Structure 1
Amino acid sequence: MLVKQETLSQTASYGTSHNELNDTLLMEPSDIKMYPTEDTPAREGQPVKRKKGPAPKMLGNEVCSVCGDKASGFHYNVLSCEGCKGFFRRSVIKGAQYTCKNSGRCEMDMYMRRKCQQCRLRKCREAGMLEQCVLSEEQIRLKKMKKQEDGTARTSAVSVPSPAPEMPPLAPEQQEMIEKLVAMQKQCNKRSFLDRPKVTPWPLNQDPLNREVRQQRFAHFTELAIMSVQEIVDFAKQLPGFLELTREDQIALLKTSTIEIMLLETSRRYNPAIESITFLKDFSYNKEDFAKAGLQLEFINPIFEFSKGMNDLHLDEAEYALLIAINIFSADRPNVQDHELVERLQQPYVDALHSYIRIKRPNVSMIHLRGQT
């Protein structure tokens, strides 16, 4: 369940204490971000400067340096959205010349980007987009041909019949670890289920103009979110080694992993037959219910798309539990001090998931995990 910080801060007035979530995470309220918020874009006329090398890891809350829409990555040297990426590429390839009806003085945003192409192209260049990074149609064609040739070569190399090696079973310590993880998760879920009567009931009144009804839906979703966060914290505290970390590292890991774990937990509760997400066994919600609780479609749609995609993988309880443990022990989180210890705590879960998938899904040719291929 995903709610804004402003949502959490208002909950006290609807019957749920905001201190519950604050105490749970051991952090300041201002630090909690339950889904992406916009960062300040680059100043007008100042190109985005970026060091050479791999693009930085996306946090999920970056905005396009050109129009302010949600960024999808670094394109042509600039953090930008898919729309501005495609617009810049088409403009460069065609050598397009645009005209502005406002003498080149348009302020660029998600609305104006469709109205004034000249100012949009100017803003792309000011942000730092480089024309030399745009491949021509011929370069793209040659690149595709090379990729196809490489793929054909790899297929030929692996298509030679050979006896399939028998996969070794899980090591006893891995089997025991996985069983404990699954049991821990079930225990945490059970505690939440027992707290179900404490959740503000979902209102039966469907009047969209009734303020009390809106507040009740708001409180209902927020309390479910708090219970989800409590489950994550309880689970983390039971992971071997977590409590050996400093208090500061525990806070840093929980603060930054919570949103990702909540998405994983949401996806495992997705029911594709009715396109709904079920919490605490009985509470099922579709997109319309999420909207009634105050979330906007720009956040609702990605939640359901992610949930559907994960559901299509047919992961089992063991795989979800291992993914969550790996997610918690991610040493690259901001403000983590003892990276070496966190990585050491994470590695057994990575190894176990890799071994588990090789046995359960022998036809999967490659699994991309930390330190594994």
Structure 2
Amino acid sequence: CNNKNGQPVKRKKGPAPKMLGNEVCSVCGDKASGFHYNVLSCEGCKGFFRRSVIKSAQYSCKNNGRCEMDMYMRRKCQQCRLRKCREAGMLEQCVLSEEQIRLKKMKKQQDEETARTSTVVTPTPPQEVATLDPQQQDMIEKLVAMQKQCNKRSFLDRPKVTPWPQSQDLQNREVRQQRFAHFTELAIMSVQEIVDFAKQLPGFLELTREDQIALLKTSTIEIMLLETSRRYNPAIDSITFLKDFSYNKEDFAKAGLQFEFINPIFEFSKGMNDLHLDEAEYALLIAINIFSADRPNVQDHDLVERLQQPYVDALRSYIMIKRPNDHLMFPRMLMKLVSLRTLSSVHSEQVFALRLQDKKLPPLLSEIWDVNE
């Protein structure tokens, strides 16, 4: 993995080359265990680099950053070790979050189980019947009731939304501004729904104000997209808001959004619609999404993970009861949360494009999406 001058050489994308058994780590010189983050490294340096990046760790060197890294010093000076990791070519954008790793392992286990059961025909022992304990049942019922109440308040605010203009003149500046205002006001109502729902989740108010803000800022657009998919109508390929307002792709475009953002929204909505989720499953997914400990600027990761776990357990049990023969539904649903991370990145690009068009977002949306006007 090094050239003749001792400099690391980044390998090309694709399957990792077969190891000969005598390779050494590009960071510390220990026996390498594989190609991690695009560079040959040992298991220890791989894990250290991943944890450091995820937790945004800050280290200090007692030797003014002049430590020579080897198998001994890698345990003595973490700052120089992290610096050597980056110099060796480890890529931070290749690091998977804790949630992504868990989902990846879960999917691999499910795939192995499916392959094993499809090739070996054995008598199927009676499976243990999944049940929801009283606490889980009560939690799910409260989640669904909370969501309905938040939606009801938004529906009552419907008259406050700027009317969608009837004019088809695409060149009229006033008409374009009305369409944009219509969509942004719907977005504001959705944000307010999400904030109200989050504040009612058990444990959310136990978090520091800083962690509450960090979770809401990063999860809001993803929950908005989940709610959008929930309102998708495959028969007319449109999305309905507040029971009466239906919009197709062209309507989104008329409001100033780009098809690079519109098309992924509709594709995601179609995929979610194919899962045929009910209100309880959507509510649990939203709660799981809110309590994601790997969000930027979250400080108390352990508390956020503990708050998330009951919703994960309840969703798993609920799915086993509702779909006892579909063992892949639970990982498929969690993988949708990973897809939302990609859509969130596309949304950031859309917000930037709107600013280039001189379309100013309302203060609430600017704050929640960290837009500096």
**Given the two structures, how large is their TM-score scaled by the length of structure 2?**
0.58
2:240 is paired with a residue whose SS is strand
Aligned residues: 232
Counting only pairs closer than 5 Å after superposition, residues 177-256 of structure 1 correspond to structure 2 as: 177-256=139-218
Cα separation, 1, equivalents of 2:198 and 2:142? 13
For residue 332 of structure 1, what is the aligned residue in structure 2?
294
- Pick the aligned partner of 2:319 from 357, 362, 372: 357
Is 1:273–2:235 an aligned residue pair? yes
**3-state SS of paired residue (1:219):** helix
The residue that corresponds to 2:267 in the other structure is 305
Q: 1:150 to 1:365 in 2, by over 3 A?
A: closer
- SS of the residue 1:278 aligns to: strand
Q: Aligned in 2, Cα 1:212/1:161: closer, same or farther, shift over 3 Å?
A: same
Q: 1:321 Cα deviation (Å)?
A: 0.1
Distance 1:235 1:355 in 2: 23
3-state DSSP of counterpart to 1:284: strand
- The range that moved more, 221-230 or 168-177, is 168-177
Distance 1:152 1:270, change over 3 A: closer
Counterpart Cα distance in 2 of 1:327 and 1:192? 21
3-state SS of 1:203 partner:
coil
Query: Residue type matched to 1:266 in 2?
Result: T
Q: How far off its partner does 1:170 sit?
A: 1.0
Cα 1:169–1:201 change in 2 (3 A) is same
Q: Distance in 1 between matches of 2:37 and 2:238?
A: 39
Residue 262 of structure 2: SS of its match in structure 1?
helix
CA displacement 1:238-296 (0-9 Å, x = unmatched): 00110111000000000011111111000000000000000000000000000000001
**Pick aligned residue for 2:131 from 135, 153, 169:** 169
Q: Is the 8 A contact 2:130 2:320 kept in 1?
A: no
Residues of 2 paired with 1:155 and 1:323: CA distance?
Answer: 30
Report the counterpart of residue 317 of structure 1 in structure 2: 279
* Aligned-partner residue type, residue 234 of structure 2: P
Evaluate the alpha carbon distance shift between residue 354 and residue 221 of structure 1 in structure 2; reply closer, same or farther with a 3 A threshold.
same
Query: Structure 1 residues 152 and 268, CA, compared in 2 at 3 Å: closer, same or farther?
Result: closer
Looking at structure 2, the residues matched to 341 and 149 of structure 1 have their Cα atoms a distance apart, in angstroms, of 32
| Partner amino acid, structure 2, of 1:189 | N
Give secondary structure in 2 for the equivalent of 1:229.
Answer: helix
Structure with more relative contact order (C-alpha pairs < 8 Å, separation 6 or more): 1
Change (3 A) 1:178 1:151: closer
1:48, CA displacement in angstroms?
Answer: 11
Distance 1:48 1:309, change over 3 A: farther
Gaps of 5+ in 2: 1-7, 12-35, 40-88, 90-110, 336-373
For 1:160, what is the secondary structure of its paired residue? coil
User: % of aligned pairs identical?
Assistant: 85
| Corresponding residue of 1:155 | 118
TM-score, normalised to structure 1, is 0.58
Instruction: Find the partner of 1:294 among 233, 256, 261.
Output: 256
Two-structure CA RMSD over aligned residues (Å):
2.7
Give the AA of the match of 1:176: D
Alpha-carbon spacing, 1:48–1:258, altered in 2? closer, same or farther (3 Å): farther
Given the superposition, is the C-alpha separation of residues 322 and 49 from structure 1 closer, same or farther in structure 2, using an over 3 Å criterion? farther
